[in-house]
Structures are given as structure tokens and as C-alpha cells.
Amino acid sequence: MKIPYRPITRVKDMLEAMGQQMAYAYDDLVFPENTAFLLQMGKEGRDLFVHFNRESIESERLPILQQLKSAGAKQSLKVRVKGLYNLEPTENNELKIEFHPLQ
């Protein structure tokens, strides 16, 4: 099955299967209502990367990842952890995303 580049509908369906809603999508990023993580679509349509919020509870990350992998597989998506992120306010009342690789 060919997966389209940036398969936003599949990602949205995956989140909904987990009881989550997609709050916002921008370029290759998908922000669910739950800010414990965000998703980044890869260069290949089936690749989907997870960035956990640095402020999320570390013990809750693995269960979330397992849910993402299970729901993603049903949409033919390969979910992998890429790292952490945090949001920083800017001077113009916008938010800046900072990504951090896993150590």
C-alpha cells in the first residue's frame, strides 16, 4: 500500500483512535490536544516521529509510545521516538519550538 507524503488524514485517524484530537498541523508537525507529545511526519509517507514534551511525566512516555505504535500500525505508519521538545515564548507573543535529541 502506498502511503502519501505527509499523510495528515492517517495521522488524524490514528490520534482519534487513541481518543486524542488533532489541535493544529503546521508543515510536517502535528500538535495533538495533549501536549505531552507532538508528531513529525518523515520524508517517507509511512514514517512518523514522536517528540515528547520535556515537561511530560517520564513514566507515562512508554505507554503513550506503545499506543502510538499500535494505532499507527493500523494506519500503516511506522512510529518512532525522535527526541524531546519544549515551547518557549518569544518577544512577539509567539511560541518557539526547541527540539532536543534523546541522550
pLDDT, tens digit, 9 for 90 and up, residues 50-65: 999 999 999 999 999 9
Per-residue confidence (pLDDT) for residue 2, from 0 to 100: 74
Q: Report CA-CA distances (Å) from 83 to 17, 23, 71, 73, 103.
A: 23, 20, 20, 20, 8
pTM over 0.85: yes
Residue 1 confidence class, pLDDT cut points 50, 70, 90: low
Spell out the domain ranges in the chain. 8-101
Give yes or no for residue 33 having a pLDDT over 70.
Answer: yes
When pLDDT is averaged across residues 1-22 and rounded to a whole number, the result is 90
Distance of CA 62 to the CA centre of its chain: 14
